[in-house]
Amino acid sequence: MSFVGIIANPASGKDIRRLVAHATVVNNHEKVSIVRRLLLSLAAAGVERIEMMPDLFGIGSRALDGLRDRPDILAATSIIDMVVEGNAEDTLVAAQTLRAGGAGCIVVLGGDGTCRVVSRGCGEVPILAISTGTNNVIPTFVEGTVAGSAAAFVAQHPEVAREQVAYRHKRLVVHLNGREADQALVEVAVVSAAFVGSRAVWEAGSLRQIWVTRAQPTNIGLSSVIGVLRPVDPWQPEGAAVSIGPDKRRVKAPLAPGAIVPVGAGEVTRILPGRRNPVAGERPAVLALDGEREIVLGQGDHAEVSLELDGPWLVDISRALHLAVAGGSFWV
């Protein structure tokens, strides 16, 4: 049975960067509309089972409310039975539930931070990420209708080699005092601070180090500091790192939408898979994962960052749809 999961993060695209920069606002009503178009597209492709993450706003249930004239969609679609906490734990639990239930693809509405959390719970299930966040290095701006067609093809053709419809993304693993603590998909940054505070990072003055799995001058966010100096492609089996400080040569980088700011950046160095790179500098400090402050480092804490090549599978929408065309998936 073909099975697609949908995780729509109601908090994505609502952080402080809407106030301090000029980030696009994708409100929850628009997310409802995107999910509704996803459901219509999945149904048109013949997907037999769809499960959606519940949330306090009710994105999934509101999307279904607008489809009361489609009993086929209502019969095939359900909301995951889980406790809603109203935080990132919801996303993690939903991803774990969809993986355990046998989902063939998980469609994610969010930014890099949402994809990071989903990647911790989805295992080998491919992710198709639709951009509704602030920093969108991984998610793409794709119409929900098109995304639904690609997700349907991936879920309906498990016999197709995964490498033909998706690519394996890299990840950065954070080790704290010798134990794996968390991971990031795009970048890990050291912020000079004593506590998490506002989760989003948008100021250059507090940055001390940045590690990336990928970086392009087309990116928005902390990875752009390396992206405008020495780009790293998603498929390269390496990453890069740079130290940040006011005494270093400055480069202009788009740290947030509409906010191109000077950043003091040292020499960009390669990081290779499997090697642990120490987090240097003073304590206390905070580690930001994919643009959001997550881990506080106190006095005596020893942290390291390693690049791994075994991250989540990300659906290549164009490649999947071209295979669908070649296989005659759109014939009636």
Residue 16 has pLDDT above 50, yes or no: no
In the chain, pLDDT over 90 holds for what percent of residues? 85
CATH architecture of 3-169+312-326: 3-Layer(aba) Sandwich (3.40)
Question: CA 291, CA 4: separation in Å to the nearest integer?
Answer: 28
> What is the phi/psi pair of residue 38, to 5°?
-60, -50
pTM value is 0.94
Domain ranges of the chain: 3-169+312-326, 171-308
In the chain, pLDDT over 70 holds for what percent of residues? 94
Residue 134 has pLDDT above 90, yes or no: no
Element (H, E) at 283: none
**Which amino acid would we find at residue 132?**
T
Residue 18 has pLDDT above 50, yes or no: no
Residue 19 has pLDDT above 60, yes or no: no
Q: What local confidence, expressed as pLDDT, does residue 195 receive?
A: 62
Peptide bond into 231 cis (omega under 30): no
pLDDT digits (tens, 9 = 90+) for 203-213: 788 899 999 99
Q: What local confidence, expressed as pLDDT, does residue 257 receive?
A: 85
Residue 199 has pLDDT above 80, yes or no: no
pLDDT digits (tens, 9 = 90+) for 29-56: 999 999 999 999 999 999 999 999 999 9
Per CATH, the number for 171-308 is: 2.60.200
Average pLDDT over residues 139-148: 96
Question: CA 293, CA 228: separation in Å to the nearest integer?
Answer: 23
Please give the mean pLDDT across all residues of the chain.
Answer: 93
Q: What is the DSSP string of 111-139?
A: -HHHHHHHHHH-TTSPEEEEE-SSS-SSS
pLDDT digits (tens, 9 = 90+) for 217-236: 999 999 999 999 999 999 99
Q: What local confidence, expressed as pLDDT, does residue 13 receive?
A: 63
Q: What local confidence, expressed as pLDDT, does residue 136 receive?
A: 83
